[in-house]
């Protein structure tokens, strides 16, 4: 906030009276666009204040510093509501950037007055400009390594699945592990899970483990099971399941925590492989207009690679790195203190815990059994008492909590833990992650919820961090899993928003492609990509609502709404240029949107060829 008022020459406000005094000073100094009355400026600023966003005034072109770069002849979607009724988003024509921040936004003529001898001028030819996307939930390192290993995304048959494995085997070193993922048996004509025997026929003696698209289920071959000592005698771990045949023999399917025994015997990827994979994933983000990423890549070596990339000037997206909820308090504090929290390009963020698994893998924890598997209600990860104790301890230590919860039982576990933890934290006046008393707990996914739970989200001020593109995948089978009654209140974006629950959107990359345009399309249509199927359309959003969830909503979820998510003076210069106005295009054409330029901190990190 202080930086934004510094840009205008006004002092940062202290309290509401000081705030309005500062706004009035800005107005009377005529710091906004030429020809606009001071009264109008003050009124517009006051209306923006009602939304808790305080735009700084545009510096005087005559006496203020000159811009480093100006972008002119654009259709700028600022993300700022234009009036108190919130009926439309303010549009402008040009942007001036100084350093890593937006200096001014306005008409072409006014912004061009900020040109100096060294100012770069970029003509955007009328193209649509919007705040950069902030992906509120993804897995960068996993995405990169998947691209470097066996990428099974989109395979349509078991035969194709096996052929991709065989192709990797033929180039692998003797005894090398074959890793990868992205397969989804619900896309196959015969919707049966693959088995270890399917892999044995093509693995050539290599140990193999391949993740299902959701990451909560994997298939391992016989060699991998033996190396992990998984036999007929093993018991299922808490929160996991080893699938078995009629004779009790493991089939190779490992659900959730049951994968752990295999993961521990896989050699760690080299530093070079990790870095290469992360660079590939970052390039993917830049090409798709993602300027901020809230990431869970829990191996600490991945964070150290982000630090390397930042030092080398090659970190092309802002990263808030989540830490594992299950780590000890001492380890969590050590990691948090190892890198400045004030670093807006890279820092550690919330603690991620897992309440359950996935709906596609039948491991999401449900209050009632699966409609298509009546003897199964999913796999909760925690006993209630232990979860509540851990949550309370970590909130008291000043950490933000974010819990993966897909099923309604998992959601209930998370809500109850939040309520218990925050009650104690408030009694002890413990500071939240941002130093105040706003704890901002999050539930990641929140796919299956009851109406009463949505009310509880609002009461506890829980953020619904959701991935709308999941509907494009899940609508093929979600109603079979849930039955029509529960399905009607699943992926309930509109219900959350209508109750005043903050939404933060992401992709869960590499579970879904990182492109936000699939998410926008899903949010406003709830239709399959071919338009032939629709999933409970009453939960649709408007395009403005969907964009907000992907920008301001995601920023709020990571305590950075004062830094990014809107294009206004003083905010970080993170924005993208598109080949079409997604707010005016037909919904079908949104899917084909291309990013022409991605700017992070005033620097172009991607430009279409």
CA distance 432 to 350: 11
From residue 538, give the alpha-carbon distance in Å to each of 359, 473, 492, 521, 561. Answer: 21, 18, 9, 15, 29
Note the pLDDT of residue 64.
76
- For residues 38 and 31, is the Cβ–Cβ distance under 8 A? no
The residue behind tokens 């399905």 is 487
List helix spans (H) across 121-157.
Answer: 140-148
* 3 state SS of 85: coil
Using alpha carbons, select from 593, 600, 606, 594 the residue that is nearest to residue 521: 593
The answer for residues whose C-beta is within 8 angstroms of residue 593's C-beta and 6 or more apart is 517, 578, 579, 580, 582, 585
CA distance 408 to 79: 33
- For residues 291 and 574, is the Cβ–Cβ distance under 8 A? yes
Using alpha carbons, select from 468, 584, 552 the residue that is nearest to residue 133: 552
The residue behind tokens 């509401």 is 16
Note the pLDDT of residue 200.
95
**Residue 308 burial (CB < 10 Å; 0-12/13-18/19+)?**
middle
List helix spans (H) across 254-374.
Answer: 260-263, 271-287, 300-311, 329-337
Pairing outcome for strands 575-578 and 595-600: antiparallel
CA distance 284 to 387: 36
CB atoms within 10 A of CB 229: 11
Please measure the distance between the N-terminal and C-terminal CA atoms of the chain and give it in whole angstroms. Answer: 37
- For residues 11 and 22, is the Cβ–Cβ distance under 8 A? yes
From residue 187, give the alpha-carbon distance in Å to each of 156, 199, 253. Answer: 6, 19, 18
CA distance 97 to 599: 11
Long-range (24+ apart) CB contacts under 8 A made by 390-393 are 390/325, 390/326, 390/353, 391/353, 391/417, 391/418, 391/420, 391/421, 392/420, 392/421, 392/424, 392/425, 393/329
Pairing outcome for strands 401-405 and 442-445: parallel
Using alpha carbons, select from 96, 90, 57 the residue that is nearest to residue 75: 90
The residue behind tokens 């023999």 is 249
How many residues would you count in the chain? 609
The tokens for 23 are 């706004």
CA distance 290 to 188: 31
Indicate the pTM of the whole model: 0.85
CA distance 68 to 407: 49
CB burial readout 30-69, b (16+ within 10 A) else e: bbbbeeeeeeebbebbbbbbeeebbbbbbbbbeebebbbb
Note the pLDDT of residue 86.
53
CA distance 173 to 113: 62
For the four alpha carbons of 585, 591, 594 and 597, in that order, the dihedral sign comes to: positive
The residue behind tokens 């309005």 is 20
* 3 state SS of 440: coil
- For residues 396 and 430, is the Cβ–Cβ distance under 8 A? yes
- For residues 558 and 320, is the Cβ–Cβ distance under 8 A? yes
From residue 61, give the alpha-carbon distance in Å to each of 8, 68, 96, 274, 305. Answer: 11, 13, 11, 47, 42
List helix spans (H) across 29-125.
Answer: 38-49, 108-112
The tokens for 205 are 């003696």
Half-sphere exposure of 429 (CA within 13 A, CB side): 0
Where do the domains of the chain lie, and which CATH numbers do they carry?
Answer: 2-132 (2.30.40.10), 145-263 (3.10.310.70)
Note the pLDDT of residue 82.
79
Q: 304: alpha, beta or left, given left = phi > 0 and alpha = psi -120 to 50?
A: alpha
Note the pLDDT of residue 215.
87
The tokens for 211 are 């993740």
| Run means of pLDDT, 10 residues per run, the chain, 609 residues | 36 39 39 34 35 42 82 98 74 98 98 97 98 98 92 93 95 94 91 95 95 92 96 93 95 95 94 96 98 97 98 98 98 98 98 97 97 96 97 98 98 98 95 93 98 98 98 96 96 98 97 97 97 97 98 98 98 98 95 98 97
- Bridge partners, 292 (sequence order): 134, 318
């Amino acid at each position: 906030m202080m930086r934004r008022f510094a840009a205008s020459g006004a002092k940062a406000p202290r309290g509401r009276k000081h705030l309005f005094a500062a706004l009035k000073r800005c107005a009377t100094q005529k710091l906004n666009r030429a020809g606009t009355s001071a009264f109008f400026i003050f009124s517009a600023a006051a209306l923006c204040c009602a939304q808790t966003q305080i735009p700084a005034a545009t510096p005087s072109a005559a006496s203020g510093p000159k811009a480093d770069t100006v972008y002119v002849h654009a259709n700028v979607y600022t993300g700022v509501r234009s009036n108190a009724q919130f009926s439309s988003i303010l549009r402008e024509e040009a942007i001036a950037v100084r350093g890593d921040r937006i200096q001014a936004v306005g008409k072409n003529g006014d912004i061009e007055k900020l040109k100096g001898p060294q100012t770069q001028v970029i003509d955007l030819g009328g193209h649509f400009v919007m705040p950069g996307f902030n992906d509120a939930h993804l897995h960068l390192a996993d995405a990169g390594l998947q691209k470097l290993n066996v990428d099974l995304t989109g395979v349509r048959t078991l035969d194709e699945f096996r052929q991709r494995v065989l192709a990797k085997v033929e180039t692998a070193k003797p005894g090398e592990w074959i890793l990868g993922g992205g397969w989804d048996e619900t896309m196959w004509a015969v919707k049966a899970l693959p088995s270890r025997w399917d892999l044995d026929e093509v693995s050539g003696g290599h140990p193999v483990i391949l993740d299902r698209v959701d990451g909560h289920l994997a298939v391992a071959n016989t060699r991998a099971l033996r190396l992990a000592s998984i036999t007929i005698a093993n018991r299922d771990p808490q929160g996991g399941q080893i699938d078995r045949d009629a004779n009790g023999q493991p089939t190779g399917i490992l659900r959730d925590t049951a994968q752990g025994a295999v993961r521990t015997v896989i050699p760690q990827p080299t530093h070079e492989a990790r870095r290469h994979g992360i660079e590939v994933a970052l390039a993917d983000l830049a090409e798709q207009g993602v300027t901020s990423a809230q990431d869970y890549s829990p191996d600490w070596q991945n964070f150290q690679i982000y630090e390397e990339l930042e030092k080398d000037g090659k970190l092309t997206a802002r990263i808030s790195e989540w830490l594992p909820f299950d780590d000890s308090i001492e380890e969590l504090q050590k990691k948090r203190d190892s890198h400045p929290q004030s670093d807006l390009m890279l820092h550690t963020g919330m603690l991620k815990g897992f309440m359950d698994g996935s709906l596609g893998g039948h491991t999401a924890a449900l209050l009632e059994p699966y409609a298509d598997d009546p003897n199964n209600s999913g796999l909760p990860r925690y006993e209630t008492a232990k979860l509540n104790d851990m949550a309370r301890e970590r909130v008291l230590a000043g950490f933000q909590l974010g819990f993966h919860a897909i099923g309604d039982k998992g959601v209930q576990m998370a809500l109850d833990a939040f309520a218990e933890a925050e009650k104690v934290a408030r009694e002890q006046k413990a500071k939240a992650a941002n130093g105040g008393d706003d704890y901002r707990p999050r539930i990641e996914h929140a796919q299956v919820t009851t109406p009463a739970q949505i009310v509880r989200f609002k009461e506890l001020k829980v953020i619904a961090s959701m991935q709308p593109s999941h509907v494009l995948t899940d609508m093929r089978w979600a109603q079979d899993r849930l039955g029509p009654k529960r399905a009607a209140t699943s992926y309930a974006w509109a219900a959350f928003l209508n109750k005043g629950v903050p939404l933060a959107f992401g992709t869960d990359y590499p579970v879904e492609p990182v492109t936000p345009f699939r998410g926008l399309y899903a949010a406003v249509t709830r239709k399959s990509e071919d338009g032939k199927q629709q999933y409970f359309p009453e939960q649709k959003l408007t395009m403005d609502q969907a964009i907000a969830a992907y920008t301001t909503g995601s920023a709020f979820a990571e305590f950075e709404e004062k830094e990014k998510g809107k294009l206004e003076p003083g905010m970080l210069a993170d924005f993208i240029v598109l080949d079409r106005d997604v707010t005016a295009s037909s919904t079908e054409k949104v899917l084909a949107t291309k990013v022409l330029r991605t700017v992070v901190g005033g620097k172009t990190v991607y430009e279409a060829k």
